A and B are shown apart, each in its own frame.
Chain A
Amino acid sequence: MAQVEETLKRIEASKGVIGTILVNAEGIPIRTTLDNSTTVQYAELLCQLSMLARTTVRDIDPQNDLTFLRIRSKKHEIMVALENNYLLIVIQNPCE
């Protein structure tokens, strides 16, 4: 438990990381480093997107499952990890 906490703290303190959000199984953000409105927005949108991506993967092969989703945009990169119905979202500005 403490190790995971430390890991998350290290991620948050890493270079270029704008924010991290941890969303539980019901889609409610339980831990975040961003402000409330942004957090809610990110959580909602990424939940939907990851559900869609997951459906895509599983429709093709039901024994398969989605593990990570990575969206690279002009300004930053959004990385979503899915585990146990939890979503761990990290928004980073890749240093270039």
Chain B
Amino acid sequence: MSVRDTNVGARKASNVQKAPGVKSTKAANKEKDEEKTVEIGGGHIKGLIKPPDQLKLTEAELKEKITRVLNTQNPHAPDNIVRWTFKDRCFKPCVVDHTIHIFELEGNLVYKNSDEGRRLMLKQGLHEEDTGLDIGAESDKERTETSTTPVEDGGEVEEAGEEDRPDSAASKTDKKEPKITNIFNSCDRATQTLHNPPREINCQTEPPPRSSFSASANQWEIYDAYVQELQKQEKNKEKQKAAPSEKDEKSQKKMMLMETQDIDLNKVSKAAKVLERMVNLNIFDEIAQDFAYYEDPADEFKFPKGTLLPLWKVKYDQAKKLSVTALCWNNKYPDLFGVGMGSYNFCKQGSGMLLFYTYKNCSFPEYIYPTSSGVLCLDIHEERTYLVAVGFYDGSVAVYNLKTEGKEPIYKSTAKTGKHTAPVWQVCWQNDDMDSNHNFYSVSSDGRVVSWTLVKNELVFTDIIRLPVIPAETEETEPAQTPLIACGTSMDFHKQIDYLFLVGTQEGKIYKCKTYSSKILETYDAHHMRVDTVKWNHFHPKVFISCSSDWTIKMWDYTINTPVLTFDLKEPIGDIAWSPYSSTVFAAVTTDGNVHVFDLNINKYEALCQQLVVDKKKAKLTHIAFNPIHPIIIVGDDRGNVNSFKLSPNLRKKPKGKEGPEVEAAKMETLLSLLRKPE
């Protein structure tokens, strides 16, 4: 109901034709123009004055009728707007509204007959009724009368209602008083209720004690927790099984006390040990590198001679005055070797020592066992390498267990249990007997070869052989000079044949014997002086070597009574040893400080290496031993020092291509055959 509609109604397509009126209008226009110009010009100027851009048309064109059509379409409105519809997926023309709103006015007129109108009317009607009640009582009465009448007359309600309406309308018209509050009659009364002021009541309690906790949950912490749980459970099970007793409690208490006293150091014992080795390795790093990797390059030029590269030197301060009397390598741990300390001096006999070194830590021995008497020989069991048999100067033998804590031997022979009456020169472990008891043999200057068996807690001995009385070539009138019983000074068991062994004596003879019979199989007249060492060849079953203080080394074939080879070194020889890797290589030490290494395969008469390793004046070399695996030899002297050397490549020659004990044996065999030929 706006002006809009009327406009719409007004705008209709109407053709206004300007037929004859065109000219007139145009003429009128012209006239207007003319008039205008005339008026503008100010004076009366007759004539056409055209503006300069006036379109020039011919008369025919001027007469042309031009029809103009008026329509309701908005010329400015675009007529080809298209919109994309997703529904139809195409562009569709949209309807453009052509209406132009020129004027809009919001009105508040309401149709009487519409709903809104009726509602408004009702409201106004009620309002006027109310005001009527306020103002006059009569009117009230009228109202009530009129109102009651419709109540009474049910059928005439509508009529009454209609009557009411005109009445009310009439009352409206009658009482058109402005509804202004009468300031005299009405007054505002206001009361304000009392607001209780809000108050805060709070109480603060003491905060619960807090502590910050941080932990990490790693895989291993979880694992540790599980392991601890397991252990706890196991402990609980054990506790349930074992009845608790007072003794246990007491011992537990004692344990606690002990623990508090030495918490500190025992816990790091292993770490300390390894650290000491690490420190030593750092100090002696060069030596370790040499040991592992150095090969003397000069060997190529010096062929066939070789050299010994000095490596570690070990000595123990408290054993300074003692000389090395025995050396033995450990088969299982090739870096561990045992050194027996004692004295060869008949007059000055004191205490001795048993030391074990490893070249991982060359500054301090791993195991130290002080002994009351000087150690003369030692042997480490082949399989159970913690068992060490030791022979003493005072004739007793002992067995030490390296695994046990104490410094005492686990077995020791005494006068009652058949110890020797003279120094024990050699001990040798043998295979376990029938009852799988360990046993070893010893030989001593009292002429006995004794077998000792470790039976539970004691050492049981059995005499194997009593070395025979040597018939003096002179008469028996000088018994004081000739010993009644031969003195055994060295012993060696055959490598392959268990029961066969050799004994060397003070008189220079070598006896070949068997363990299970006291009969001597053979006698060899070996040397003029005592036989210091006899050693079977590791590979060839028939060959053995012996050395003596008469400056000679002799190599034997046990089938032949005379030596196969003899070497005269011009110096008293302390010790000899076969090499474990070759059947034709052996080494000897002489008291002048020289180490001689022979390889019979290369040179049958001369040493490949003759090297001075200690100062002649200061020390005499006493023992030598080859390491079972590495190309190392250790040499002991009478000052208590043990020096280790690496063999240069020339000294370690092996036949190319083939390796093995058979080859070695064959090598020796060829050598022997060569030697036998001139015979």
Contact = CB atoms under 8 A, between A and B. Distances in A.
B363 interface: yes
A22 B263 CA distance: 13
Contact of A8 (B262, B265, B285): B265
A94 B280 CA distance: 10
A58 B218 contact: yes
A11 B222 CA distance: 37
Nearest to A77: B282
Interface string B262-280: 1011111111111110111
B242 to A, nearest CB: 26
Contacts of A30: 264
A71 interface: no
A79 B279 contact: yes
Interface in A63-96: 63, 68, 70, 77, 79, 81-84, 86, 88, 90, 92, 94-96
Contact of B271 (A17, A63, A81): A81
Contacts of A88: 268, 271-272, 275
Contact of B283 (A1, A16, A24, A86): A16
B279 A90 contact: yes
A5 interface: yes
Contacts of A63: 223
A15 B275 contact: no
B271 A82 contact: yes
B220 A10 contact: no
Contact of A95 (B273, B276, B283, B363): B283
A31 B220 contact: no
B282 A92 contact: yes
Interface in B222-276: 222-224, 262, 264-276
A84 B265 CA distance: 11
B378 to A, nearest CB: 23
Contacts of B285: 94-96
A43 B201 CA distance: 55
B283 A7 contact: no
Nearest to A6: B364
Contact of A22 (B262, B268, B274, B364): B268
B449 to A, nearest CB: 39
B182 interface: no
Chain B contact patch, size range: 20 to 34
B267 A83 contact: yes
A59 B219 contact: yes
Interface string A15-33: 1110000101000001100
Contact of A7 (B216, B218, B223, B273): B273
A1 B265 contact: yes
Given A22-B264, A31-B264, A59-B218, A15 B283 contact: yes
A95 B363 CA distance: 16
Nearest to A81: B271
Contacts of B220: 55, 58-59, 62
A14 interface: yes
Nearest to B226: A62
Nearest to B273: A7
B276 A86 contact: no
Contacts of B264: 22, 24, 30-31
Given A14-B280, A22-B264, A8 B363 contact: no
Given A62-B220, A95-B282, A7 B274 contact: no
A38 interface: no
B265 A4 contact: yes
A12 to B, nearest CB: 10
A88 to B, nearest CB: 5
A78 to B, nearest CB: 11
A83 B264 CA distance: 11
A14 B272 contact: no
A55 to B, nearest CB: 6
23 contacts: A1-B262, A1-B266, A4-B265, A4-B272, A10-B276, A11-B276, A16-B283, A22-B264, A24-B264, A58-B220, A58-B223, A59-B219, A62-B220, A62-B222, A79-B275, A81-B271, A83-B267, A86-B267, A90-B275, A90-B279, A92-B279, A94-B283, A95-B283
Closest 4 CB pairs of A and B: A58-B220, A62-B223, A81-B271, A62-B220
